[in-house]
Amino acid sequence: MSRVSIETHDAWVEFPIFDAKTRSLKKAFLGKAGGAIGRNSSDVVVVEALRDINLSLKEGDRVGLVGHNGAGKSTLLRLLSGIYEPSRGSARIRGRVAPVFDLGVGMDPEISGYENIIIRGLFLGQTRKQMMAKIDEIADFTELGEYLSMPLRTYSTGMRVRLAMGVVTSIDPEILLLDEGIGAVDAEFMKKARTRLQSLVARSGILVFASHSNEFLAQLCDTAMWIDHGQIREQGGIEDVVRAYEGPEAGNHVAQVLRDLETEGALGATGEKKLEQKQV
């Protein structure tokens, strides 16, 4: 068995609703959000956020999650991270998990950017010594300069994202659970950030990535899973899953992205081979 793996068997995640006075309101709201309403074995009304989840992932797997907001993608990531325990069934995770759900989690607005680099790294399972060794490289990546000595509350949203991205992409996780939360940065920095994310994924044993960007999913993942109302509706190749979820046009776009990536990879390999021949 791989030293890094994810195994779930008929896993459910249910949230009980105890307040009878607001039950009808919660039922209407949560029903639209994607969680089905049911009753558990104690006859308590529950929101069934995830139902019958069966996964078997091993080292080297890169899985993208698609589905509408509230479908259960983030809940699934939290189940795999150990934040939620299954109310039924089982979930067994082998390996060190790096959950990246909210880029701002673990950051303190009252302390400096440099201090937040250390704090955020500790939150992601790194040691203080490890983060001290990476601090200069992270600072260079963020391009925040003297702002790193100032309190985080003085930062714009985009600056906070830069800082968080710098820390997140510096770690070496065995299992990377990524919920895309970027976008408040300029296009040039976004391109730079994606390059670092691709490097991060390459260093990870397993990736589970929830995103609304089909292009980004195609760049980072080799399979996909459609989560719908808390259940796995479809799983397989990214093109096939996106086509089932969004339709032919979206599927064709993913197919083109995959072809472009394959072409770029072939050209890159050819260039490296020519360089080696030239050096010889």
| CATH number of the domain within which 92 lies | 3.40.50.300
Does 30 or 59 have the greater pLDDT score?
Answer: 59
| Choice among 16-25, 43-52, 63-72, 87-96 with the minimum mean pLDDT | 16-25
Number of separate domains in the chain:
2
**Secondary structure (DSSP) of the chain:** --SSEEEEEEEEEEEE---GGGHHHHHHHHHHHTPEEEE-TT--EEEEEEEEEEEEEETT-EEEEE--TTSSHHHHHHHHHTSS--SEEEEEEES-EEEES-TTTT--TTSBHHHHHHHHHHHTT--HHHHHHHHHHHHHHHT-GGGGGSBGGGS-HHHHHHHHHHHHTT---SEEEEE----SS-HHHHHHHHHHHHHHHHH-SEEEEE-S-HHHHHHH-SEEEEEETTEEEEEEEHHHHHHHHH-HHHHHHHHHHHHHHHHHHHHHHHHHHHHHHHH-
The predicted model scores a pTM of 0.80
| Whether residues 229 and 245 fall in one domain | yes
Query: How many Cβ atoms are within 10 Å of 240's Cβ, its own excluded?
Result: 17
The tokens for 68 are 């509408």
Burial class (CB in 10 A: 0-12, 13-18, 19+), 52: middle
Would you state the pLDDT for residue 274? 45
Same domain, 69 and 180: yes
Mean pLDDT of 132-151: 96
Segment 207-224 mean pLDDT:
91
Choose the final residue of a domain: 139, 172, 205: 172
Residue that finishes a domain, picked among 172, 187, 218: 172
Q: In terms of residue numbers, what domain contains 127? A: 98-172
Domain boundary among 134, 150, 172: 172
Mean local confidence (pLDDT), 57-76: 94
Average pLDDT over residues 248-256: 92
CA dihedral 251, 253, 254, 256 (to 10 degrees): 130
* Residue 94 reports pLDDT greater than 70: yes
